[in-house]
Amino acid sequence: MQFTAKQSGLYQGGESVLKRLTYLWRWSRDPRRRWMWYLAAAIIFFAAKAVPIGGLSPQAQSAIAVFLTAGFLWFTNSFPIAITGLLVLLLLPLSGALPAKEAYSYFGSDAVFFILGAFILASPIMRSGLSNRIVLWALQRLGTDPVLLISALLWIPAFMTFFINEHAVAVMMFPIGFELARVLNLKPGSRFGTAIFLAIAWGTVIGGMATLLGGARAPLALGVLKSNTGSTISFLDWSLAAFPIVLSLLWIAQLLLIRITPRDLKLDRLQSHIQTRASQLGPPSTREKKTFALTLVIILLWILTGDVYGLGTIALLGAVLTFVIGITDWHEIEEDVNWGIFLMYGGAIALSTALQTTGAAPFIAEQMLPFLSKAPQFTLYLLTLISLLLTEVMSNTATVAMLMPIALGVANTLGLAPEAVTLSVALPAGLALMLPVSTPAIALAVGSRHVRTVDIFRYGALIKAAGLVIFLLASRYYWPILGFTMGAR
């Protein structure tokens, strides 16, 4: 099917252009056309294997072939990211890049068990009703004024992502947004409805950068860092590096939401509804109290002893204790844990190690240097920008999986501290705000019909532009105070 410029909506404003691009993307995603993506991936792999590259060993060239194939599949999302992770583990030994035993061993990474334990701990927080109680408690006190209510809907999910994966928070918070819109009788496209769903989406995405618990990308980045350099970043140091950035971005988001929010809306009916919902919960249950206490203890252990015992070991302790003290059962865990993410982790960490040990990552870094400045600070800025852009068109976990091996190769070539490079890639990868394909929270906001795609793009671009400046200032002036300097240690 062919489109003229007029038919394609190019004369109907930015929203029509975005809708047309979305349509074309969905057309390409039709299951009947998947064979095109698979054929393209096969061509990339065999071409990269067959074309000689001077100065590279066969193992390094094989590693690059697997990397390009996985990168293409992650970018196009033509395979689920978990299946691409399995494909990586299949191709590494078959291509000769890594022995099978070594490739499979990376499922034993500390990062994999950290995120497994974090998922298991998150399940009883939601199942026990503790998360709902926190939301209703805050809305009771802040839902009396339109601006206060929107601020609460921004900061509540942000706070919750400090302890729970952001995707789980999005799944929990958006039904609350729909309930608020129903009680207030808001029509699709209304200013207050737009503010409600933007607040939930932005709070979920921005807050997810604050700790290692907010998203899978941060533990993955640490796993790649550990497997390539032997160094890591502690739970506390990561949070200290991220919190000022997160708080600044939330403040900017709040200013934008205040401009959108109508001030004259009456919320009496909503307050009555919230009071009724809160009274139905009753007093905190024993399960809620145990869940809160265990979560607090595990977080303190991560902060105080994470460097000694490892984040993964403490996460597994927490996972086992959820069963010992009786706050969960295996059927709930089976339903709540995203098991596929572990397949992605194992493949991504194995791939990054293959690129490093075969010499492929340093080779790619050397080829990139003519396009980069030899100034270390500028290189960090460029990595931040690339991460911010890539995360809009592919999952943030895939962004980290693609960028981290190359970024560490560049760091090694230029003498940059790998910890600073890790922060420069992994933190910006969490700021996906502009397109529905970027992250579930943004997709749910657009799918609510209360937020137009053009509004997501326009306001998200403003926050990302501010985020770029904040990231650059943090890497230049704040992170060195924490010990994350540019130069290698």
pLDDT of residue 426: 92
Mean pLDDT in residue range 46-75: 86
pLDDT of residue 2: 37
Residue 27: inside a domain: no
pLDDT of residue 30: 63
Residue range of the domain that includes 349: 60-482
Residue 314: inside a domain: yes
Q: Rounded to 5 degrees, what are φ and ψ at 62?
A: -65, -40
Q: Rounded to 5 degrees, what are φ and ψ at 421?
A: -65, -40
Residue 477: inside a domain: yes
pLDDT of residue 321: 95
Residue 20: inside a domain: no
Structural domains of the chain, count: 1
Residue 142: inside a domain: yes
Say if CB 74 and CB 351 are below 8 A apart. Answer: no
DSSP class per residue in 76-88 = HT-S-HHHHHHHH
Q: Which residue has the tokens 């064979």?
A: 35
CA distance 323 to 316: 11
Name which of 222, 225, 118 is nearest 161 in CA terms: 118
Share of residues in the chain with pLDDT > 70 (%)? 90
Residue 357: inside a domain: yes
Residue 251: inside a domain: yes
Residue 341: inside a domain: yes
pLDDT of residue 326: 92
If DSSP codes are grouped into helix, strand and coil, which group holds residue 232?
A: coil
- CA-angle at 439, arms to 86 and 200, nearest 5°: 145
If DSSP codes are grouped into helix, strand and coil, which group holds residue 485?
A: coil
pLDDT digits (tens, 9 = 90+) for 186-243: 888 788 889 999 999 999 999 999 999 888 788 889 988 988 888 889 999 999 999 9
